[in-house]
Amino acid sequence: MQKREILDFFTKNRSMSVGISILLIYLIAAIFAPLLSPHDPYEQNLDVRLSGPSREYPFGTDQFGRCVFSRILYGARISITIGIAAVLFGLIIGSGLGIIAGYRGGLTDLVLMRLMDVLMSIPALILALAVVAALGRSIPNMILAIGINALPLFARLSRSSVLSIRTMEYIEASEAIGTNSFNIIRYHVFKNCFSPLLIFSTLHTASAILMAAALSFLGLGVPPPTAEWGLMTAEARVYLRQAPYLVIFPSMVILVLVLGFNLIGDRLRDMLDPKLRF
Amino acid sequence: MRMKKYILKRLLWIVPLIFLVQTLLFLLLTVIPGDIAVLIATPNAPPETIEALREELGLERPLIVQYIDYVTSVFRGDLGKSFIFRLPVSEILVGRLINSLELVTVGMMIAVVAGIPLGVIAAIKRDSLYDRFICTGVLFGISVPLFFIELMTILIFGLYLGWFPVSQRGGPIWTVEGLRHIILPALCLASICLAMIVRLTRSSMLDVLSEDYILTARSKGLKERVVIVTHALKNALIPVVTVIGLQYGFLFGNTVVTEVIFDWPGIGRLTYESIIMRDFPLIRGAVLCIALVFIVINLLVDLIYLRLDPRIEYD
Amino acid sequence: MDEKPLLEVKNLSVNFYIRHGVVNAVTDASFKIRKNEILGLVGESGCGKSVTALSILRLLLEPPAKIMGGRILYKGEDLLEKTEKEIREIRGKEISMIFQNPLSSLNPVLTIGFQVSEPIILHQNLKNDEEVKRRTVEILRQMGIPEAEKRLKEYPHAFSGGMRQRTMIAMALSCNPSLLIADEPTTSLDVTIQLQILKLMRNLRRDVGSSILLITHDFGVAAQLCDTIAVMYAGETVEYGSAVDVLKDPKHPYTKCLLRSIPRIDVDIERLEPIKGSVPNAMNLPDGCRFHPRCPYMIEDTCEKIKPEARQLTEGRLVRCHLYGR
C-alpha cells in the first residue's frame, strides 16, 4: 500500500522525480568516484593530450592528457559539498541570527538587521570575491564566501516568523509565568518556517553551485590541479577552438546538477507554498 | 510631502550604509590578510624592502588610526593609491565603472524588453505549447553557468561564424564598432536575467488575471487587449520592478565573469585583476564603488515602485 | 404578465473541466426576467448561481468552464450564439454586472475617474473629454458619492467598502443598461451599508427602469427587494414564482427547509431547523432528485430514481418536485 503511494507520487510529479534521479546519479558518482572512474584523475599522459572522446577516455583528455571523465566524477564531490555546505552555513547561522534578532529585539535586532542590509548592499558574487581575496583560496573559504550571501535571506525569514509568533498567546503565557520562551520560540519558528526554509535551501543550493563554479572559473576557487568543474572549464578556455568538448562536458555537468536542484525546489514550492515567487 | 520626506530618509540612510560597507571592507581586506607588505612584495624580498614598503603604505600605524584614516578619506573622495598602478584608485575606477554600467544596463534593457512580453504571453496562453516551451527555457536559463553560455557564444558567433568581435570594447555604444563589440557580452549577460524576469512576469501576470477587477474590466465590454494592457499589466509589473533592482546587483556580480571572458575593460574585470594582483586599496575601492552603485540603483527602483503602486504608504 | 421577457435562461448547463475531473456546476437552470422586474436568484454558496450569472455575459473562462447546453435569450436573441465582438457590445452597455467583493473588484492602480469613465467612453458617443467627465461626475453623484468631482483622481484604496460598491454600481449604470446583474452586492458590507445599497438598487429600478438579476444566499435581502424569486439547488432551479408566493407559501421541500432554517421577525417560529446533511459534491451528484438525500418528504422508489421535471402549478409558478405529480 505504502509502496504504491510512493510510486503514485513519483508518477504524478515528473519534474520532482527527474530532479531526484539527477541528484541520486550525482551522489553515486561522488561517493563511488574511485570505483567508477577509469583512470586516476590526476595522472598525466602527455602522449594522448587533447584527444577527443574515445572508448578509453569517454569524455576525452585535457591538455595534460588527464581523463576528463574521471576528473568530472571526482569533481562531483567538491561541487556537491560546497553547494550543500554553503547553504547549511547560511541556514544555520542565518536563521540563528534571525531568531536572536527577533527574540531579543531592541538594539540587538537593529544591529543584526543593519548588518544584513550591509551584506545585501554588495552584489553576491562581488562579496564572495572579496571574502576569497581576504582569506585565500580553499574549499572552506569558498563555503564561507558563498554561504555569507545566504545569511540575510534566512535571517529575515526566521526573524519575521519569530515576530509573528511572539504575539501568540501561548508565548505570552509562558513569559508571564517566567519560563524561558526562547526554546519554545525556536521550536515554533522551525515548525512554521519549515516549508519556506526547505524551498529556499533547495533553490539556494542551485545558485550556490553556480557561484562556486564561477569562483573557480575565475581562478579564485580551489587551486589547480584540483578536479573541479569550473576550474576545468577555465583551463580549457584556451583550447576552445581545438577541443570544445573540454568546455562542454564540465559545463553541462554543472548545468544538469543545478537543473536537478531547481526542479526539486520549484516543485516543492508549488506543493508546499504556492504563494512564494522565487 | 510625505514622499519627499521618504526620499530624504532613504538618501540619508545611504551615508551610514556606506560607512558600514567600508568597515566590513576594512575588516576583510586590511585586518584579516595580515601583513599586506609581505603579501605584495616579491617572494624573496629582503626585509629592508618589506620595511620600506610598509612605511610607504602606512602599515606600521596602529589599525585604529588606519581605519579612521581610511573611512574619513573616502568621504573626502580619496580612495587611496593603487599598489600596482601607482595611481589614485578613484582615477582608475571612473572610466571602468562607466564601461561596466554600459554593459550591465544594455544587458538589463535587453532582458526587460524581451522578458516582459515573453512572460505576459506565457501567462495568457497558460499551459499551451508555447507556455511549456517558455517554462522549460526558463528552467534552463536559471541553471546554466554564465561562462558556459559565453564560451559557446564566442565559439559559435565569434570563432565559427565570425559575425562579431569577441573581445574588448569598441568605443562609444552609438558607433557601429561600439555596438558590434557590446552585442555578444550584453546578450549573454541578459540571458541569465531574462529567465528570472520571464518567470516572475508570468507568475505575477497569472495572479493578476485571476483577480476580480479583471472580471470587472471584461464585464465593461473592453477588448481583451485593453484588459491585458491597461488593467492587468500595470498591476503585474509591480513585483517585476522590485526585482529589477536585485537583478541589477546580480548582473553586476556576474559581469565579472563576462568582462573577464570578453576582455571588457570594466570594473568587474578590474576587481578580478586587483584580487589576483593583491592590490588591496584597489579591491576596496572597486567593491565600495560597486556597492554604492547597487545602493543607488535600488533606491531608484524603489522610487519607480512608489510611482507604480498608489497603495504604498511611505514608511 | 404575458409580456415578452427581457431575459430568458432556458435549461442552462455548465461544466468545469479541472484536473481532478468534471464539475457539473450548473445542470438545469431556467428563469425569466421581465422588463422593470427584480428577480432574486437564491441558493446556498456553491449551488451554481454565480456561474449562471457569469454565463449570461459569457465571462466564464473557457477552459476550464464549458457551456454544455441551454439557451440564454436576451431580447429574443441567444447570447450564447453571439460572436466575441457582439457580446462585447452588450457587456457594460445592455447588461452590466456588479460583483460580490467591492474591495477587490476595482483596479487598485487606476483612478476612480478612469475606471468609471471607461464604459462611458466605450459605449456612449460623447463628443469630448469634457462631456465624458460631466457624465462620470453625474453618475457618481447620483450614486451618493460626496464631492464626486474631487474624488475622480483618487485611487480605490482611499474609498471605504460602501463607497467602492457605490462606485461599482455607478460604473455598471453609467450607460443605462437594460439589465443589471448584481452578484451578492451586499454580502461583504456592514449591515447599515447593506441597507443603503439595497435602497440604491430599489431607487434605480424606479428611476432608470432597469431590470435587476439579484444573486443572493440571503432570503432576507431577496424579500426586501425582489418581485420574483428563483431558488437554486445543486445546479438546478427548483422553484420559481413571485416573491410573495415563494416566501409565504414555499412549495419545494428545499425552499421550505431553507426558510425554516433562517430567523424571521414576521413569522413566529419556535425553533430554527437546520437542513440535515450537506450540499452534495458537484463532482458526484445524487441520481434522481438532487435533494432527495436531505429531503424530509422523500417518496421511496421515486425520488432517488427519477429526475423530476419543472412543473407549472399556477401561472408563473414552477416547482421541480415529485410531490406535485409526475
- For C62-72, how does the pLDDT look when each residue is reduced to its tens digit (9 = 90+)? 778 888 888 88
Phi/psi of residue C206, nearest 5 degrees: -65, -45
Is residue B262 within 8 angstroms of chain A, CB to CB? no
Q: Which residue has the higher pLDDT, A65 or A83?
A: A83
Sign of CA dihedral A243, B265, B272, B143: negative
Do the Cβ atoms of B218 and C91 come within 8 Å?
Answer: yes
Residue B264 falls within a domain, yes or no? Answer: yes
Do the Cβ atoms of B283 and A219 come within 8 Å?
Answer: no
Instruction: Find chains touching chain A: ≥3 CB pairs under 8 Å.
Output: B
| Chain A contacts to B (CB-CB under 8 A) | 114-115, 117-118, 121-127, 129-135, 206, 210, 213-214, 217-220, 230, 233-234, 237, 240-241, 244, 247-248, 251-252, 254-255, 258-259, 262-263, 266, 277
Identify whether residues B63 and B157 lie together within a single domain. Answer: no
CATH number at residue B104: 1.10.3720.10
Identify whether residues B243 and B133 lie together within a single domain. Answer: yes
- Tens of pLDDT, residue by residue over C155-181, are 888 888 888 888 888 888 888 888 889
| Chain C contacts to B (CB-CB under 8 A) | 54, 57, 59, 88-93, 96-97, 99, 101, 104-110, 118-119, 122-123, 155, 157, 168, 171-172
Which site among C82, C100, C104, C107 would you substitute to test the B interface, given the most B Cβ atoms closer than 10 Å to its Cβ?
C107
| Residue spans per domain, chain A | 14-42+53-276
Across the interface, of A118, A214, A230, the residue whose CB is closest to B24 is A118
Do the Cβ atoms of A126 and B250 come within 8 Å?
Answer: no
d(CA C224, CA B312): 40
In the structure grid, which three cell numbers stand for residue A123, read together? 552584489
In the structure grid, which three cell numbers stand for residue A89, read together? 552555513
Binning pLDDT at 50, 70 and 90, where does residue A9 land?
Answer: low
Residue B60 falls within a domain, yes or no? Answer: yes
Strand-pairing partners, residue C312, are: C318
**In a 3-state reduction of DSSP, which class is residue B115?**
helix
Identify whether residues B134 and B200 lie together within a single domain. Answer: yes
Residues in chain B closer than 8 A to C109 (CB atoms): 234-235, 238, 308-310
Range of the domain at B288: 89-308
Residue A1 reports pLDDT greater than 50: no
| Res A88: pLDDT | 96
Is residue B212 within 8 angstroms of chain C, CB to CB? yes
Is residue B158 within 8 angstroms of chain A, CB to CB? no
Residues in chain B closer than 8 A to C118 (CB atoms): 217, 220, 222
Closest by CA position to A67, among listed A238, A242, A250, A223: A250
Residue B147 falls within a domain, yes or no? Answer: yes
Identify whether residues B29 and B126 lie together within a single domain. Answer: no
- Tens of pLDDT, residue by residue over A135-179, are 888 999 999 999 999 999 999 988 888 888 777 777 777 767 766
Closest by CA position to C124, among listed C132, C113, C116: C132
Domain boundary among B75, B97, B125: B75
In the structure grid, which three cell numbers stand for residue C239, read together? 422553484
Binning pLDDT at 50, 70 and 90, where does residue C271 land?
Answer: low
Identify whether residues B152 and B64 lie together within a single domain. Answer: no
Mean pLDDT of C243-247: 80
Is residue B314 within 8 angstroms of chain C, CB to CB? no
Residue A3 reports pLDDT greater than 70: no
Strand-pairing partners, residue A67, are: A61
CA C24 to chain centroid? 19
A vs C contact (3+ beta-carbon pairs below 8 A): no
Residue A278 reports pLDDT greater than 50: no
Total count of residues recorded for chain C: 326
Strand-pairing partners, residue C69, are: C13
- ipTM metric: 0.89
Tens of pLDDT along chain B (315 residues) come to 677 788 888 888 888 888 899 999 888 887 777 677 777 777 777 888 888 877 777 777 888 888 888 888 888 888 888 888 888 999 999 999 999 999 999 999 999 999 999 999 999 998 889 999 999 999 999 999 999 999 999 999 988 898 888 888 888 888 888 889 999 999 999 999 999 999 999 999 999 998 889 989 998 888 889 999 989 998 999 889 888 888 988 999 999 999 999 999 999 999 999 998 888 889 999 999 999 999 998 888 888 887 777 776 544
Identify whether residues B134 and B158 lie together within a single domain. Answer: yes
Q: How many domains does chain B have?
A: 2
Identify whether residues B34 and B117 lie together within a single domain. Answer: no
Residue B80 falls within a domain, yes or no? Answer: no
d(CA A67, CA A56): 9
Nearest CA distance, B153 vs chain A (angstrom): 11
Residue A73 reports pLDDT greater than 90: yes
Identify whether residues B157 and B58 lie together within a single domain. Answer: no
Specify whether the CB–CB gap between C155 and C109 falls below 8 A: yes
Residue B81 falls within a domain, yes or no? Answer: no
Nearest CA distance, B139 vs chain C (angstrom): 24
Residue B313 falls within a domain, yes or no? Answer: no
Which are the contacts of C39, defined by CB distance < 8 A and separation ≥ 6?
C31, C32, C33, C211, C212, C213, C214, C226, C227, C228, C229, C230
Indicate the helix (H) or strand (E) that contains A210: helix A182-217
Do the Cβ atoms of B275 and A132 come within 8 Å?
Answer: yes
Tell me the one-letter amino acid at A107: L
Instruction: Find chains touching chain C: ≥3 CB pairs under 8 Å.
Output: B
Task: Give the chain A residue nearest B19 (alpha carbons).
Answer: A118
Residues in chain C closer than 8 A to B234 (CB atoms): 109-110
**Interface A:B, Cβ pairs < 8 A:** 140
End-to-end Cα distance, chain B: 13
User: Structure pTM?
Assistant: 0.86
Mean pLDDT of A200-218: 94
Q: Which residue has the higher pLDDT, C319 or C105?
A: C105
Do the Cβ atoms of A237 and B290 come within 8 Å?
Answer: no
Residue A94 reports pLDDT greater than 90: yes
- Tens of pLDDT, residue by residue over C133-144, are 888 888 888 887
Identify whether residues B61 and B131 lie together within a single domain. Answer: no
Residue B83 falls within a domain, yes or no? Answer: no
| Res C1: pLDDT | 44
Torsion angle of the four alpha carbons A158, A160, A165, A171, in this order, in degrees rounded to the nearest 10: 80
d(CA A116, CA B218): 45
Q: Does domain A14-42+53-276 have CATH number 1.10.3720.10?
A: yes
- Tens of pLDDT, residue by residue over C70-94, are 888 888 888 888 888 888 888 888 8
Residues in chain A closer than 8 A to B28 (CB atoms): 130-131, 133-134
Binning pLDDT at 50, 70 and 90, where does residue A10 land?
Answer: low
In the structure grid, which three cell numbers stand for residue B43, read together? 617572494
d(CA A222, CA A220): 7
| Res A255: pLDDT | 96
Identify whether residues B104 and B129 lie together within a single domain. Answer: yes
User: Chain B, 74-133: which have a CB under 8 Å from a chain C CB?
Assistant: none
d(CA B128, CA B135): 11
Task: Give the chain A residue nearest B148 (alpha carbons).
Answer: A251
